[in-house]
Amino acid sequence: MNISAFFNKDGTLGQGERTALKRIDDKYKQAYLEYRTHDWDILKKDIKIWEFIQDDLWSYVDVQDSNVLYLAIVDNKGSFIGYATIDHLDSDLPSIGLELKREYRRQGHGKETVDLLLEACSRVLNKDEVIVRINSDNNASLALFSQYDIKEIGREDSEYIQALDFLNKGKLESEKIAAPKEYSENGRYIKRFLLRA
């Protein structure tokens, strides 16, 4: 799929009253990387691991391949306030996701972002169903998406645990990075939902 079909000439996917979705580019790179990893303190302790993670995260965004969109959520002043994705563009069920900075939550930015993402999926992909992945302890997102026609369809490990599993591959048990308590057994995980526009 040609992802340029999603954007107008200035790189905007959609514009609401208070929120716009823009293609992530160098202008938003540092803000994206800082926010995307703001709570990964345990991984920041090892500079080599930390540089690898940042390079790896940016390589996915920088490529902007034909199967995923990475978007900056910006306010009316153009300030970065979060990020969003539309993934699996070539599948029958694309997925959407978003994360807002804490100080911009519960102000309508999340709902407006979801509406813009759903409109883009409908307009460009002709899809009226998408997958949404929400952290099990993210009550604000769970409340946001409860405003839509949504149904839980599965669960998976958190992205943090997935990153730790990748980094721990092939290491001796004594060398492995342990997951913080909130991610251990019966802790934080991702709920998967089917959302109908």
Under a CB-based contact definition with an 8 Å cutoff, are residues 114 and 145 in contact? yes
CA distances from 154 to 98, 139, 158, 175, 191 (A): 19, 17, 13, 32, 6
What is the DSSP-derived secondary structure letter of residue 184? S
* Range with lowest mean pLDDT among 31-45, 68-82, 100-114, 182-196: 31-45
Q: Is the pLDDT of residue 119 over 70?
A: yes
CA distances from 156 to 22, 107, 133, 164 (A): 29, 29, 9, 14
SS3 content of the chain, % helix, strand, coil (to 5): 40, 30, 30
Whole-prediction pTM value?
Answer: 0.77
User: From CA 68, how far away is CA 78, in angstroms rounded?
Assistant: 23
User: From CA 138, how far away is CA 143, in angstroms rounded?
Assistant: 9
What is the DSSP-derived secondary structure letter of residue 2? -
Residue 137 CB-half CA count within 13 A: 8
Residue 53 CB-half CA count within 13 A: 23
User: From CA 197, how far away is CA 147, in angstroms rounded?
Assistant: 11
Q: Is the pLDDT of residue 42 over 60?
A: no
The band of 41, judged by pLDDT with boundaries at 50, 70 and 90, is low
pLDDT digits (tens, 9 = 90+) for 50-107: 565 556 565 555 545 568 888 999 999 989 999 999 999 989 999 999 989 989 988 9
Give residue 172's pLDDT: 85
Query: Percentage of the chain with pLDDT > 70?
Result: 79
The band of 47, judged by pLDDT with boundaries at 50, 70 and 90, is low
pLDDT: which is higher, 4 or 21:
21
Average pLDDT over residues 134-150: 89
Q: Is the pLDDT of residue 133 over 80?
A: yes
Average pLDDT over residues 20-26: 88
Give residue 60's pLDDT: 54
CA nearest neighbour of 137 among 155, 151, 124: 155
pLDDT: which is higher, 194 or 31:
194
Give residue 35's pLDDT: 79
